[in-house]
Structure 1
Amino acid sequence: MKQIIQDLKNGETILEEVPVPTIKSGHVLIRTHKTLVSLGTERMLVEFGKANFIQKARQQPDKVKMVLDKVKTDGLKPTMDAVFNKLNQPLPLGYCNVGEVVAIGKGVAEFKVGDRVASNGNHAEYVNIPKNLVAKIPDNVSYEEAAFTVIGSIGLQGIRLLNPTFGETIVVVGLGLIGLVTAELLLANGCNVIGFDYDDEKIKIAKEKGITAINPAEGTDQIKFVEIYTNGVGADGIIITASNKSNEIISQSANMCRKRGRIVLVGVIGLDISRADFYEKEISFQVSCSYGPGRYDEEYEQKGNDYPIGYVRWTEKRNFEAILNAISRGTLDVKPLITEKIPLGEYQKIYGDMKNSKSIASILEYNETEPPRSSVKISKKSFTNKKGVIGIIGSGNFTSSTILPNLRKIGADIKFIASSGGLTSTIMAKRYDIAKSTSDYKEILKDDEVDLVFVTTKHNMHAPMVLETLKAGKSVFVEKPLALTNSELDAIIEEYNNQNVTISVGFNRRFAPLAKKMKKLLGNDNTPINIIATMNAGFIPEDVWVHDMEVGGGRIIGEACHYIDLCTYFAGSKVKAICMNAMGKNPEENTDNASILLKYENGSNAVINYFANGSKAYSKERVEVYSQERTLIMDNWRKLKAYGFKGGNSSSKQDKGHYNQFDELILQQIRGNNPIIPFEEIVNTTKASFAAIDSLKNQEWVVIN
């Protein structure tokens, strides 16, 4: 299928050929008939993409500070690699999609195949959308009209926040697409509506709809006009739908308001607010978030958990339905807003010169003729009679920033890369010369030439996909963690014992050059050692999926397992007991800031401090090892200080062991050597991470069987 994307690195807008997305649980798969181009929002994205590196930095000063902090701790090259990796990730354009349901995911009861629906899907021939972001189109509403659903909901949410009453005077600043829809909805609400814009064509349309529309370029003073119009009272409320970096708009809006007036920002403007403008009149100001309650809430959007209507009357989905109902009843007429209708293949007529476009609403029309495909061939590579042929499931940030660059350095043979949406895997396949991109990972498991599968998905998918890979008779490398529960781990152990394949987990730290040097200095005489390992892991907001125990497993199981494995590597022994304590009055609810104490079978002790409340300017990782009146101190995988050892001091660029790990893994797969990490150590580390959580809950030491 074809999809429009924005390349943030070179600024090109591209019509990309990608696999059709795979239907997910709680989602509906939609074949697109029309999409609406939101010129305001999409123009900003396109112009950002076309900006040079310095211009991009100026637009995001907060990101610049993050980059500078990372340079201090990780060095220049790793930081620049991370920055350019972000810029290399494609940005799908569009969020106003209408089409026909062609497949239903598990748990979806309110839709059926054949339903006509509106959603926030991208400009793509097929989109896979969560059910709470999809609404049925009434029979008397055309696809072209329904394409305004999401745009209309953005304006409607701004109105709901303003809470206008019948007879109030409301000013709409900016009569673009959202502004015109907002103004018409306000009229339907019984308000007196004034609109300001500098485009005569938009002024004309607004007047035809009954809006008092003014072009300030003709010499009208906006503040004085509102004052005269309201007999000196001022406007009851202002909705700003304009896009302009100037601070003048917010100042003018405050001066147009009556005492205790309200201002709601829907657009994007300069926000250097003058206290005096707001103070004397006690004006309230609020920013509207997209198209309603539920936006960016993982529980609502991705998991499909609706808010009870008695507590949240208007969610984003119910706003969608309200807009469609208004179009159906004729209280919202969007047809006059359509400026042009363009076939998808001629998309550059819209995107070629958006900066100078006078269009209000551009409709993209879809006429898919080829049957949908779940994979796309990128190159004609041959893998006949080769070993170590790789298929990668998952194309997220870690895959693009770390796995693929290292595999390319090694010269690995990669036949497949999979992503559920098909877009990111296609972009990566082209960048790294991978033979095929697919949205159906099962194609990898069925392929006879692939003998090594990488699993780099969200944590809750690791164990099920590892099991599927083992049953397919293929070796597997899975990013940590291996599993989230003991039952998952038991199932993997049982299947592993029935197969002649290997399991590797992404415990890359033990492969780092400095870790290898430390191990060599310590020797292999099994003498007990003391280890203090500190991870200045950094804060992650509570709503990020890593914290969800069912999806991410939390940061101890999901991330600190790295350091349990590293301590095991240095100790040369397995963990036999573990105790964990965490910060706060209810520590079991906060595993972000925890200390883990490990007892090893050979008498070694280790303390892992996993903290999320430290400064980003400080080193992210530090390891101290004490043995036989000697000490090793490793700082952030860049420096090693050795006390009591000869020739132990080292310094180099940051290297966390990924290259060595993958190099050894592929050689092992080709030559049939022993696993790069003994499976019993992988199992022990995984059990130890589970035991740490049990210890915290029960406030006691936990013995590992």
Structure 2
Amino acid sequence: MTLTVGIIGAGRIGKIHVDNLRNIPNIRVKSVSDVAIVHLESWAREKQIEVLTTNYQDILNDPEIHAVFICSPTNTHTAIIKEAAAAGKHIFCEKPISFTVEETEEALAAVEKAGVKLQVGFNRRFDPNFRKIRQLVKDGDIGSPHILRITSRDPEPPGVEYIKSSGGMFMDMTIHDFDTARYIMNSEIVEVNAIGAVLVDKAFEDAGDIDTAIISLKFANGALGVIDNSRRAVYGYDQRLEIFGEKGAAQADNNRANTVEVSTAAHVSKGKPLYFFLERYTQAYIDEVKEFTNAILENQPISCTGFDGLQAQRIAEAAKKSLETGLPVQFKHVQQSAVI
């Protein structure tokens, strides 16, 4: 069987998905929609896209298309999810699903009613190093987990217009780390305590946001966690993770262009971390779309579900409330639906 796919939104991430999907056997990328297609025509021809349109509903109304990738701005996600579900299309949606828990719950209810599959684009779950650590935890190799430490720092801040529309640091950036924490620990987060500051760029303060944060976590299994975030690490894209438990610890270090370390009388040095998230998570982006398409073709469960997207949003909202009040925020564990 050939799986026919449509892409809604042809920005940076939409184009990455097109490239990765085209390298998977039995996948046909038929259509791409974007509100501005003037500069996409030569690209579409090069990628052998059959239909290029400004109207995403052309994709939803196409009976040949089995699945859609929603790569449009966040404020469009829930409306498109509902329409895609009603049209019987399987859905891959970039994070976050929306800016509010209520909107996301409505979208997930539509997915559940339609009985289609929904995968959320938390690509870090598919990073080979993080998956290895997750397996070590599941297999009990480090014993009962005690502390999870995540460092996540961007190489440079985004532009002012993006800052204004991002939903804030916790919803835009840290949401990846909240999902990673749940994934690695295989346990729900039950308490969040966040502190933050503007230390990088006043544009964040002008937008009512922060650019530097430390978030402490408590998990349902009793373990503790800490996430540190910055919007600017001058040395590159800093992505590290450590899990510590009763039997030992495991770390995932930064990816670098090479593993050469030079030692002389003057200094010891090694290469900087890869500079951008597309370089750091190249394999993760490939593996997440492979898993999504295989889940459809083989009728297998989705591993990164709408429920995972919803939980990460709940944690992001709790972190924002904690930042605003200066107090930890607790919330109850919520059971996952059998479908979403």
Whether the TM-score (by the shorter chain) exceeds 0.5 is yes
| Whole-angstrom distance in 1 between the partners of 2:308 and 2:139 | 16
| Whole-angstrom distance in 1 between the partners of 2:166 and 2:77 | 10
2:74 to 453, 459, 468: 459
Residues 275-286 of structure 1 mapped to structure 2, 5 A cutoff: none
| Whole-angstrom distance in 2 between the partners of 1:483 and 1:468 | 15
2:244 to 620, 623, 626: 626
Whether contact under 8 Å (2:123, 2:281) holds in the other structure is no
Amino acid at match of 2:4: V
Q: Deviations over 1:445-491 (max 9, x none)?
A: 11112121101112222222222212222111111111101221121
**Alpha-carbon distance change, 399 to 427 in structure 1, aligned in 2, over 3 angstroms:** farther
| Whole-angstrom distance in 2 between the partners of 1:654 and 1:582 | 26
- 1:500 corresponds in structure 2 to 115
| Whole-angstrom distance in 2 between the partners of 1:638 and 1:569 | 24
Amino acid at match of 2:208: E
Amino acid at match of 1:466: I
Whether contact under 8 Å (1:531, 1:605) holds in the other structure is yes
Is 1:610 aligned to residue 224 of structure 2?
no
Residues 275-674 of structure 1 mapped to structure 2, 5 A cutoff: 386=1, 388-400=3-15, 402-411=16-25, 412-525=27-140, 527-540=144-157, 543-545=160-162, 547-548=163-164, 551-584=165-198, 589-615=208-234, 617-637=235-255, 654-656=280-282, 657-674=284-301
When Rg is computed on C-alpha atoms for both structures, the one with the higher figure is 1
| Whole-angstrom distance in 1 between the partners of 2:49 and 2:159 | 36
Secondary structure of 1:674's counterpart equals coil
Q: Deviations over 1:48-78 (max 9, x none)?
A: xxxxxxxxxxxxxxxxxxxxxxxxxxxxxxx
Amino acid at match of 1:497: E
| Whole-angstrom distance in 1 between the partners of 2:295 and 2:11 | 26
**Alpha-carbon distance change, 680 to 458 in structure 1, aligned in 2, over 3 angstroms:** closer
Q: Deviations over 1:250-288 (max 9, x none)?
A: xxxxxxxxxxxxxxxxxxxxxxxxxxxxxxxxxxxxxxx
Is 1:686 aligned to residue 313 of structure 2?
yes
Q: Give the drift of 1:630.
A: 1.7
Whether contact under 8 Å (1:392, 1:418) holds in the other structure is yes
Amino acid at match of 2:298: R
Secondary structure of 2:145's counterpart equals coil
Q: Give the drift of 1:671.
A: 1.2
Amino acid at match of 1:513: P
**Alpha-carbon distance change, 629 to 503 in structure 1, aligned in 2, over 3 angstroms:** same
**Alpha-carbon distance change, 387 to 554 in structure 1, aligned in 2, over 3 angstroms:** farther
Task: Give the RMSD, CA atoms, in angstroms.
Answer: 2.7
- Which TM-score applies when normalising by structure 2? 0.81
- 1:52 corresponds in structure 2 to none
Whether contact under 8 Å (1:624, 1:631) holds in the other structure is yes
Q: Give the drift of 1:542.
A: 5.9
| Whole-angstrom distance in 2 between the partners of 1:493 and 1:399 | 22
Amino acid at match of 2:23: K
| Whole-angstrom distance in 1 between the partners of 2:95 and 2:106 | 17
Secondary structure of 2:169's counterpart equals helix
Q: Deviations over 1:303-350 (max 9, x none)?
A: xxxxxxxxxxxxxxxxxxxxxxxxxxxxxxxxxxxxxxxxxxxxxxxx
Secondary structure of 1:621's counterpart equals strand
| Whole-angstrom distance in 1 between the partners of 2:147 and 2:217 | 10
Whether contact under 8 Å (1:582, 1:595) holds in the other structure is yes
| Whole-angstrom distance in 1 between the partners of 2:146 and 2:85 | 36
Q: Give the drift of 1:524.
A: 4.1
Q: Which runs of 5+ in 1 are unaligned?
A: 1-385, 642-651
Q: Deviations over 1:421-457 (max 9, x none)?
A: 2234433321222221111110011111212110111
Q: Deviations over 1:580-631 (max 9, x none)?
A: 110259989332211122222112222111102431x244211122122422
Question: Taking every aligned residue pair, what percent have the same amino acid on both sides?
Answer: 24
**Alpha-carbon distance change, 704 to 389 in structure 1, aligned in 2, over 3 angstroms:** farther
Q: Give the drift of 1:539.
A: 3.5
Whether contact under 8 Å (2:155, 2:236) holds in the other structure is no
Q: Which runs of 5+ in 2 are unaligned?
A: 260-273, 333-340
Number of residue pairs matched?
305
